């Protein structure tokens, strides 16, 4: 064996001293990448990269937390080669996920900041002098500043803002620990009293903000929104708003996304090689210039300018790297700090739901009652102070049952909701719009609570009002409420899409069977 | 030969056989392209090594690979953090001919694990602090940066530790108009869980916290832990590698990283030089420690690579261009800096492991480190 080897080696050794000029091209390879949805805007640059390097990227988009869960649970093993999210900080705190990560390369950056409508910025004096997070929190508490921010468990911008405002209000200058979270909770509550809009994704949030600013969605304009500098700059560049946003960089610091492109452990040599070529290409000066120009994000290599007029020298706040601190912050946000939600679940229990479908609905809803212990399941559960109203319907709208999740013993409240879910029976016709109108009547005393309706139906409305009657009703509805329809069975897709768009909500498709995932994802919008 | 390595032989033959297939393919490709050996070069064999990430630019340098190839070694490297490196080397059939870690403790641990007696210290680089002139001004007023006996600025780790113990933030330093940030005055490091440069910081900081004596017992390690919590844990999230830390320093500037513990070589490399501005400046910590890049040969070819890196004048010269201080320097070193005066040695790998485990970001450690 040895001798044979030596012979072969000698025969091929003429390759030894030729050194080919370095080139980023190489054998064609495809990287299967689990990615954050905000990276969709990289598609043109990735297409160019594929031509240059032979490395094709196949992106599958998931939310931050869902992505983390996919990696941590091992579901990504063998199915994906890499992950690419705006941040892997959360992922790094989960040991089962961390051990599955290999090489990581930062591709670009963008701080999470505030976009404030010009009149509001002038009124608050923030156009002239950048406020601190404390000043922003004080304005929100006084009712002088309203804003939208994503769900911090579902999206990185909300998560980053939560960490930034907490770190700034803490003021110790150290990375937060769990005890600090308790200390600053009262002042954080002031900041979150100004939040009027939440969403499960940053893109959806800015879309909703724009539609409210232009009057397309009900509810009136908000003063500002929390998002990436790049997203806010793009909104201004594309003139999507009646007046441009003033981009406010809190004076005491920001948290930035750094988009680490991270290889998963166990990648083949071929994939590793492709990964190396791709990230080299993405970090090349010319690509970095294109990233800045096209996506308004910041470069991560020297010699590439900032996006036009963007400030340099931003103070980066310390980010906690322990699970305990991060969990304490998220739990405080959901259970104590945020404005609680009132959600009406309008549930189709017509005859067609009988059997498997009803069972699937029960399982899916039960997942929100604290029995799902997966990562995303833990954050989907009904939270302290939240109001959950079950409104089953068939030939007519049924009687609503209201549950307020107790702050002292939330699980017993969740157990009560589960019992009610378990008691649902299927029989009769499908009065979708009568039931929606009835649901709208359940928000009169909702106060500041975040109102929303989740509509789950498996067929066409065949009793009572029609879609036209409902849209006419909307014009006179006393409170704007977003409706999130979930398609199931033979649901009427076109009609449901119209219900979502006319109320500023969003359509979810669970016809592939994953009803639980739909209910869980909609939690980010409640 | 040690028993732990005997078990590898079988798997290695398989790995080699797989390699032969690749080589045959490569040979076909090369022949088609009509490649031929350059003058004075010997035929090259493929050699795989595992290295610390800070040496990646060196091994990526075409001149380095070409020279090594000419000397008979077609070198391919994987870069790994120090703990990861041990894991990779323990995998059966890993095919590594050498390991090239960045510190003596890691080198010793690898030797011990693989039962290899030999090690080749090749080059070293002192740990240094990359910072900015306004920061030097602020810290000089605060008595944290002082003049060493040779007139150079040094960052006094004992004074820094004192600020960290009291949780002093930049904006509370007297007369600080240059950098009034509400962040604790800390030296930014990589994550010590998997990066050598932060382990070097533990070496420095533990010694200062231990009253200037090297930490040798677990009892001493326990006693210095509260101080290490302040210096390491309070930073929160840290970059994974020294290259990321240095990039953050260069690209994002002092808002993000006012003080970064880096390898002198990263700052002084001329291949290519980092894009530094007029405000960038390098000072040594006092005390500092040398990161000693030490090659552990696993196979005969691996030893050959080590000897080439040590003895070949061209490769020594290239290492100097990359900012390293070779054990056998050429006549004209690239680094013109005088050697730092106050230098300490690292604790043993076992002592460092104790500290590392106590600083991992777990709930238990977080509770212990909480102030």
Identify which has the larger pLDDT, A389 or B354.
Answer: A389
Select the more confidently predicted residue: A513 or A227: A227
Helix B196-209 to helix B349-359 angle, to the nearest 10 degrees? 100
Q: Kindly report the average pLDDT of chain A as a whole number.
A: 92
Looking at chain A, the whole-number percentage of residues with pLDDT higher than 70 is 95
Considering only residues B221 and B35, tell me which one the structure prediction assigns the higher pLDDT: B221
Can you give the pLDDT at residue B83?
75
Region A441-454: mean pLDDT is: 95
Sign of the CA dihedral with A349 first, then A350, A355, and A360 last = negative
What CATH number is attached to the domain comprising A451? 3.40.50.410
**Residue A503: pLDDT band with limits 50, 70, 90:** very high
Pick the range with the lowest mean pLDDT from A89-98, A236-245, B26-35, B181-190. Answer: B26-35
- Give domain status of residue A2, yes or no: no
Residue B365 — pLDDT band, cuts 50, 70, 90?
Answer: confident
A104 and chain B in contact, CB less than 8 A: yes
Of A279, A296, A316, nearest to B239 by C-alpha is A316
Q: Is A421 helix (H, G, I), strand (E, B) or coil?
A: helix
Is the peptide bond prior to B32 cis by the omega test (within 30 degrees of 0)? no
Per-residue CA distances from B364 to A179, A181, B227, B360, B370 (Å): 14, 17, 17, 9, 10
Confidence band of A227 (pLDDT split at 50, 70, 90): very high
pLDDT at A8 over 70: no
For residue B30, list chain A residues with Cβ-Cβ distance below 8 A.
12, 14-15, 18
Answer whether A143 touches B (CB < 8 Å).
no
**B114 part of contact set with chain A, CB < 8 Å:** no
Q: Which of residues 49-88 of A touch B (CB under 8 A)?
A: none
**Domain extents for chain B?**
3-124+293-326, 126-290+338-369
Of A16, A106, A179, the CB nearest to B41: A16
Cβ-Cβ contacts under 8 Å for A448 (sequence gap 6 or more): A193, A339
Q: Are residues A481 and A513 in the same domain?
A: yes
A9 to chain B, any CB pair closer than 8 A? The answer is yes
Round the average pLDDT of chain B to a whole number and report it: 88
What does DSSP say about strands B288-297 and B98-100: parallel, antiparallel, or unpaired? antiparallel
Residue B26 pLDDT class (50, 70, 90 cuts): very low
Query: Is the per-residue pLDDT at B27 higher than 50?
Result: no
Q: How far is CA B8 from the centre of its chain?
A: 29
**Residues A151 and A247 reside in one and the same domain:** yes
- Please enumerate in sequence order all residues whose Cβ is within 8 A of that of A426, keeping only pairs 6 or more positions apart, or say none: A349, A350, A351, A352, A353, A354, A355, A357, A358, A394
CATH of domain B126-290+338-369: 3.40.190
Query: CA torsion sign, A220 to A221 to A226 to A228?
Result: positive
With beta carbons under 8 A apart, name residues in chain A contacting B253.
312-313
Residue A304 within any structural domain of the chain: no
CA proximity to B244, closest of B70, B53, B38: B53
Cis preceding-peptide flag for A513 (omega within 30 of 0): no
Mean pLDDT, residues B147-165: 94
Is B32's pLDDT higher than 50?
no
pLDDT top residue among A24 and B363:
B363
Residues A73 and A140 in one domain: no
Domain boundary among A201, A229, A256: A256
Q: What is the pLDDT of residue B1?
A: 38
Q: Give the tens place of pLDDT for each residue, B168-220.
A: 999 999 999 999 999 999 999 998 887 888 889 999 999 999 999 999 999 99
- Count of A-B CB contacts under 8 Å: 157
Indicate whether A276 and A410 sit together in one domain.
no
CA distance B97 to A71: 32
Instruction: Indicate the pLDDT class of residue A513, thresholds 50, 70 and 90.
Output: confident
Confidence of residue B30 (pLDDT cuts 50, 70, 90): very low
B25 and chain A in contact, CB less than 8 A: no
* Phi, psi for residue A232 in degrees, rounded to 5: -65, -40
Side-chain half-sphere exposure of A449, counting CA atoms within 13 A: 21
Confidence of residue A423 (pLDDT cuts 50, 70, 90): very high
**Same structural domain for residues A284 and A183?**
no
A238 and A180, same structural domain?
Answer: yes
The reported pLDDT for the residue numbered A24 is 66
Residue B148, chain A, CB below 8 Å: the answer is no
Q: Are residues A369 and A461 in the same domain?
A: yes
pLDDT tens, position by position, A291-347? 999 999 999 998 899 999 999 999 999 999 888 999 999 999 999 999 999 999 999
Using CA atoms, how far apart are residues A432 and B181, in angstroms rounded to an integer? 56
pLDDT digits (tens, 9 = 90+) for A181-206: 989 998 899 999 999 999 999 999 99
Instruction: Give the model confidence (pLDDT) of B51-86 as tens digits.
Output: 988 898 999 999 999 999 999 999 999 888 777 788
- Provide the CATH topology of domain B3-124+293-326: D-Maltodextrin-Binding Protein; domain 2 (3.40.190)
Q: Is B274 on the interface with A (CB under 8 A)?
A: yes
For residue A9, is it within any domain? no
Q: Provide mean pLDDT across the span B317-336.
A: 87
Q: Tell whether A224 lies on the interface with B, counting CB pairs under 8 A.
A: no
CB-based contact B138:B170 (threshold 8 Å): yes
Domain stop point among A205, A236, A256: A256
In B, minimum Cα distance to A299 occurs at B251
**If pLDDT is split at 50, 70 and 90, which confidence band does B371 have?**
low
Q: Reduce the DSSP state of residue B221 to 3 states and report it.
A: helix
Q: Looking at the structure, do residues A353 and A485 belong to the same domain, yes or no?
A: yes
- Are the beta carbons of B250 and A17 separated by less than 8 Å? no
Q: Which residues, other chains included, contact A511 with Cβ-Cβ below 8 Å and sequence gap of 6+?
A: A487, A488, A489, A491
Q: Are residues A91 and A182 in the same domain?
A: no
CA distances from A419 to A187, A354, A364, B122 (A): 37, 18, 14, 70
Mean pLDDT of A472-485: 93
Q: Which of A374-378, B128-132, B294-298 has the lowest mean pLDDT?
A: A374-378
**pLDDT tens digit string along A107-156?**
999 999 999 999 999 999 999 999 999 999 999 999 999 999 999 988 99
What's the confidence (pLDDT) of residue A90? 86
Report how far residue A173's alpha carbon sits from residue B184's, in angstroms, rounded to the nearest whole number. Answer: 5
Q: Is the pLDDT of residue A22 over 50?
A: no
Q: How far apart are CA B292 and CA B264, in angstroms?
A: 12
Q: What is the pLDDT of residue B39?
A: 66
In this structure, what DSSP letter does residue B58 have? Answer: H
A318-A275-A86 Cα angle (round to 5): 30
Q: Is residue A14 part of a domain?
A: no
Residue A497: which residues within 8 A CB-CB, separation 6 or more? A485, A507
Tell whether B233 lies on the interface with A, counting CB pairs under 8 A. Answer: yes
Residues of A whose CB is below 8 A from B167: 172-174
Work out the end-to-end distance of chain B between its first and last CA atoms, rounded to an integer number of angstroms: 51
Nearest CB to B69: which of A10, A11, A17? A17
Rounded average pLDDT over B251-262: 95
CB atoms within 10 A of CB A50: 17
Does B3-124+293-326 match B126-290+338-369 in CATH topology? yes
Q: For residue A349, report the phi and psi dihedrals to the nearest 5 degrees.
A: -120, 40
Q: How many helices and strands in chain B, by DSSP H and E?
A: 16, 11
Sheet strand arrangement including A450-457: A401-404, A387-393, A341-348, A450-457, A482-487, A508-509
Provide the pLDDT for residue A92.
Answer: 85
A409 vs chain B: nearest CA distance in angstroms?
Answer: 25
Which ipTM did the prediction report?
Answer: 0.85
B247 touches chain A (CB under 8 A): yes
Whether B213 has its CB under 8 Å from any CB of chain A: the answer is: no
Residue of higher predicted confidence among B88 and A293: A293
pLDDT at B3: 41
Which residue of B lies nearest to A315 if distances are taken between CA atoms?
B255
Number of domains, chain A: 3
The pLDDT of residue A23 is 53
pLDDT for residue B335: 73
Q: What CA–CA distances, in Å, run from A27 to A274, B25, B46?
A: 8, 14, 20
Which of B345, B335, B338 shows the shortest CA–CA distance to B287?
B345
Residue B7 has pLDDT above 60, yes or no: no
**What percent of chain A has a predicted confidence (pLDDT) above 90?**
80
pLDDT at position A373 is: 84
CATH of the domain at A287: 3.40.190.10
If asked whether residues A456 and A422 sit together in one domain, one would say: yes
Residue A88 CB partners (closer than 8 Å, separation 6+): A101, A104, A260, A262
Contact A319 B244 (CB under 8 A): no
Quick check: A13 pLDDT over 50?
no
Q: How close does chain B come to A116, measured CA to CA in Å?
A: 23
Q: Read off the DSSP letter of residue A254.
A: B
Q: What is the pLDDT of residue B241?
A: 86
Structural domain that includes position A282: 23-108+258-295
The confidence band for B93, taking pLDDT boundaries of 50, 70 and 90, is confident
What pLDDT was estimated at residue B38?
Answer: 53
Same domain, A287 and A347: no
CB distance A271 to A31 below 8 Å = yes
Measured between CB atoms, does B24 come within 8 Å of chain A? yes
pLDDT of B370 strictly over 90: no
Q: Are residues A220 and A351 in the same domain?
A: no
Chain A residues close to B43, C-beta within 8 Å: 9-10, 13-14, 16
Residue B114 in this model has a pLDDT that exceeds 70: yes
């Amino acid at each position: 064996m040895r001798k044979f080897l030596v012979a072969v080696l000698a025969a091929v050794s003429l390759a030894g001293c030729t050194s080919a000029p370095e080139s980023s091209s190489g054998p064609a390879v495809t990287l299967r990448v689990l990615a954050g949805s905000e990276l969709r805007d990289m598609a043109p640059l990735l297409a160019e990269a594929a031509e240059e390097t032979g490395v094709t990227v196949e992106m599958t988009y998931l939310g931050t937390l869902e992505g983390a869960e996919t990696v941590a649970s091992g579901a990504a093993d063998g199915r994906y080669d890499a992950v690419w999210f705006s941040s892997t900080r959360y992922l790094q705190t989960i040991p089962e996920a961390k051990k599955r990560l290999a090489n990581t390369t930062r591709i670009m950056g963008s701080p999470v900041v505030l976009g404030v409508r010009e009149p509001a910025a002038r009124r608050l004096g923030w156009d002239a002098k950048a406020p601190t997070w404390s000043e922003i929190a004080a304005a929100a508490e006084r009712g002088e500043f309203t804003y939208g921010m994503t769900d911090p468990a579902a999206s990185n911008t909300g998560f980053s803002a939560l960490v930034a405002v907490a770190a700034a209000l803490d003021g110790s200058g150290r990375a937060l620990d769990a005890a600090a979270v308790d200390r600053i909770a009262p002042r954080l509550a002031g900041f979150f009293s100004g939040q009027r809009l939440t969403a499960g994704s940053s893109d959806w949030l800015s879309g909703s903000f724009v539609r409210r600013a232009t009057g397309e969605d009900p509810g009136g304009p908000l003063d500002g929104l929390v998002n990436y500098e790049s997203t806010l700059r793009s909104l201004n560049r594309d003139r999507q708003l009646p007046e441009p946003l003033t981009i406010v960089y809190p004076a005491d610091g920001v948290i930035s996304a750094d988009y680490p492109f991270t290889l998963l452990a166990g990648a083949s040599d071929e994939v590793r090689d492709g990964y190396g070529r791709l990230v080299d290409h993405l970090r090349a000066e010319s690509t970095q210039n294109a990233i800045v120009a096209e996506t308004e994000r910041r470069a991560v290599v020297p010699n590439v300018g900032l996006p036009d007029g963007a400030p340099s020298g931003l103070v980066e706040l310390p980010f906690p790297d322990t699970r305990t601190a991060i969990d304490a912050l998220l739990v405080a946000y959901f259970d104590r700090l945020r404005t609680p939600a009132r959600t009406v679940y309008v549930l189709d229990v017509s005859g067609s739901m009988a059997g498997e479908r009803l069972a699937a609905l029960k399982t899916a809803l039960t997942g929100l009652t604290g029995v799902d212990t997966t990562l995303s399941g833990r954050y989907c559960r009904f939270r302290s102070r939240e109001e959950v109203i079950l409104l089953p319907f068939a030939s007519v709208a049924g009687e609503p049952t209201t549950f307020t999740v107790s702050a002292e013993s939330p699980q017993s409240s969740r157990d009560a909701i589960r019992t009610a879910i378990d008691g649902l029976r299927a029989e009769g016709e499908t009065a979708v719009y009568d039931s929606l109108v009835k649901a709208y009547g359940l928000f009169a005393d909702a106060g500041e609570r975040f109102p929303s309706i989740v509509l789950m139906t498996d067929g066409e409305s065949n009793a009572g009002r029609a879609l036209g009657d409902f849209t006419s009703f909307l014009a006179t509805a006393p409170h704007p409420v977003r409706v999130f329809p979930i398609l199931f069975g033979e649901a009427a897709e076109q009609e449901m899409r119209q219900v979502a768009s006319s109320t500023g909500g969003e359509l979810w498709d669970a016809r592939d069977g994953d009803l639980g995932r739909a209910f869980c994802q909609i939690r980010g919008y409640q | 030969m040690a028993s732990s390595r005997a078990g590898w032989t079988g798997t290695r033959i398989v790995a080699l056989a797989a390699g032969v297939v690749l080589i045959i393919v490569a040979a076909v490709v090369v022949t088609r392209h009509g490649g031929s050996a350059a003058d004075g070069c010997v035929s090259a064999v493929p050699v795989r090594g595992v290295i610390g990430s800070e040496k990646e630019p060196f091994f990526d340098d075409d001149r380095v690979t070409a020279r090594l190839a000419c000397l008979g070694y077609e070198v391919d490297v994987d870069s790994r953090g120090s703990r990861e490196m041990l894991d990779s080397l323990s995998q059966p059939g890993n095919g590594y001919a050498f390991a090239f870690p960045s510190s003596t403790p890691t080198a010793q641990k690898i030797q011990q694990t693989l039962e290899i007696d030999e090690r080749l210290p090749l080059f070293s680089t002192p740990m240094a602090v990359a910072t900015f002139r306004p920061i030097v001004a602020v810290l000089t007023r605060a008595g944290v940066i002082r003049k060493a006996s040779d007139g150079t600025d040094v960052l006094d780790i004992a004074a820094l530790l004192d600020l960290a113990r009291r949780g002093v933030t930049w904006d509370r330093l007297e007369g600080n108009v240059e950098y009034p940030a509400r962040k604790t005055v800390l030296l930014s490091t990589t994550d010590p869980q998997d990066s050598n440069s932060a382990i070097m910081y533990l070496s420095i900081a533990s010694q200062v916290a231990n009253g200037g004596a090297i930490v040798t017992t677990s009892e001493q390690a326990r006693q210095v832990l509260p101080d290490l919590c302040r210096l390491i844990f309070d930073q929160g999230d840290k970059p994974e590698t020294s290259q990321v830390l240095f990039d953050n320093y260069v690209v994002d500037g002092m808002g993000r990283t006012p003080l970064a513990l880096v390898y002198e070589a990263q700052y002084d490399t001329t291949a290519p030089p980092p894009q530094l501005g007029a405000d960038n400046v390098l000072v040594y910590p006092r005390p500092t420690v040398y990161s000693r890049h030490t090659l552990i040969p696993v196979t005969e070819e691996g030893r050959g690579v080590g000897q080439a890196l040590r003895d070949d004048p061209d490769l020594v010269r290239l290492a100097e261009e990359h900012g390293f201080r070779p054990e056998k320097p050429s006549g004209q070193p690239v680094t013109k800096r005088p050697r730092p005066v106050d230098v300490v040695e690292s604790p043993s790998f076992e002592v460092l492991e104790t500290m590392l485990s106590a600083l991992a970001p777990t709930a238990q450690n977080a509770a212990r480190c909480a102030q």
